[in-house]
Chains A and B, each alone.
Chain A
Amino acid sequence: MARPTPSGRPAEDEPLDQADLALLERIRQLSEIADPMPVDLPERIRFALSLPGLEAEVARLCAEEDQRLLAARAADQSRTITFGSDSLTIMIRIDSNSDGTARVDGWLDPPQRRTIDLRTPGDALLAVADEQGRFAFSQVPRGSVQLTVRAEPEAAGTVRAVIVPALTL
């Protein structure tokens, strides 16, 4: 325990003691209860970091519109998410297929031909964005996915890849 000061209070210029360390441990527990980090966040980041080609830009979440929250139409389950990086804006719409998988439609702005790489924990899917910057993955398993906008093979080395933060379908 702390040596009592003349006033009987633990003084601020004393060394940290066991009671301080125990108190910090309680603060850690309190923070974990009051404001918990999503439990799967480290796993999603580990998944994202396993990407090759780190000479890349990282896109950031700009906006997310979830139609389910708007409760417009019961059958409409679409979600629209926008990401931005220094060179590209990437819009993604996620719809539900009747078989339980997800459909992902995307648009690149400015429009350009790129290869889009979509990694799931068990698979890697490829799509090509056309001149209008449109691409689609018609059937994607639900779960954590990682999108990367790559250069087309002939432009490899001249155009930087853009990594989109992992998202859960």
Chain B
Amino acid sequence: MTPVEHRGTRLAAAGDDRGTRVAGLVEAARQGCQDAIGDLVTEFSPLLWHVARTAGLGSSDAEDVVQTVWVKLLTHLDGIRTPGALVGWLVITTRRESWRVRKDARRHIPAEQDWLAAIPDDHSRTEDLAITADTQRELAAAMRQLPARCQELLRIVAFVPRPDYHVVAAELGMPPGSIGPTRGRCLARLRALLDTSTEGGA
């Protein structure tokens, strides 16, 4: 297991670096530094994208919502002093804006879509093997077995700097202790599912 532990250590260090860097960007942005705001856009737009998509928006609506949220942030920067406050504000504002768009939309928005549809669940589509490693297919299969709320939480948390996992869980209305500092129910269930599939497949 040595290689895995090595990789984990490196990831943890990268996560902590990211938290420190984001803290610096938040402070610089609050003081009006345009470059820092731009760097925050690059850093967190993927998070906003996945929040909007888990809220059920189509691609072009999701793009509009992400842009709208950044424009709104510019008038709210004064009150945001920590990365946790920023992440919390971004997640909740993106969700509210996404719900508003869904509610206002006269056009039809398909209800439930399988966000993992692009990941083949067997070996039949060999041309996809290059981009979809076996481990990712295995992860997709396990994710599909989780409740929708768990999929949503884990998808969003995966784009957040490590110190702020609990902020996202709170904004999504998950119970305290659902993720960070503890593992939480969703991640524990996912690990149990992956352990089972490894034992079964070996």
Contacts and interface: CB of A to CB of B under 8 A. Distances in A.
Interface of A: 1-2, 9-35, 37-38, 41-42, 44-46, 48-50, 54, 58, 60-61, 63-64, 163, 165-166
Contact of A54 (B9, B15, B74, B140): B74
Interface in B3-47: 4-5, 7-9, 11-12, 15, 34, 37-38, 41-42, 45-46
A101 B12 CA distance: 49
Contact of A30 (B42, B70, B101, B119): B119
Contact of A33 (B41, B119, B165): B119
B192 interface: yes
Interface stretch (B78-86, B87-95, B155-163): B155-163
B55 interface: no
A27 B52 CA distance: 17
Given A9-B188, A34-B118, A49-B37, A60 B68 contact: yes
B149 interface: no
A60 B60 CA distance: 11
Given A21-B11, A61-B60, A49 B41 contact: yes
Interface string B125-144: 00000011001100110010
B99 to A, nearest CB: 14
A22 B139 CA distance: 12
B182 interface: yes
Contacts of B41: 42, 45-46, 49
B1 A1 contact: yes
Interface of B: 1, 4-5, 7-9, 11-12, 15, 34, 37-38, 41-42, 45-46, 49-50, 53, 59-61, 63-64, 66-68, 70-72, 74-75, 101, 107, 115-119, 131-132, 135-136, 139-140, 143, 154-155, 157-159, 162, 165, 177, 179-185, 187-188, 190-192, 194-195
A165 B67 contact: yes
Nearest to B59: A38
Contacts of B158: 24-25, 27-28, 31
Contacts of B162: 21
A49 B116 contact: no
Contact of B67 (A26, A31, A166): A166
Contacts of B157: 24
A54 B154 contact: no
Which of A9, A20, A48, A58 has its CB near the most chain B CB atoms (within 10 A)?
A: A20
Contacts of A9: 188, 191-192, 195
Which of B63, B75, B181, B182 has its CB near the most chain A CB atoms (within 10 A)?
A: B63
Given A15-B183, A18-B5, A30 B140 contact: yes
B67 A45 contact: yes
A152 B141 CA distance: 58
A10 B191 contact: yes
Given A48-B71, A58-B71, A12 B45 contact: no
A19 B67 CA distance: 34
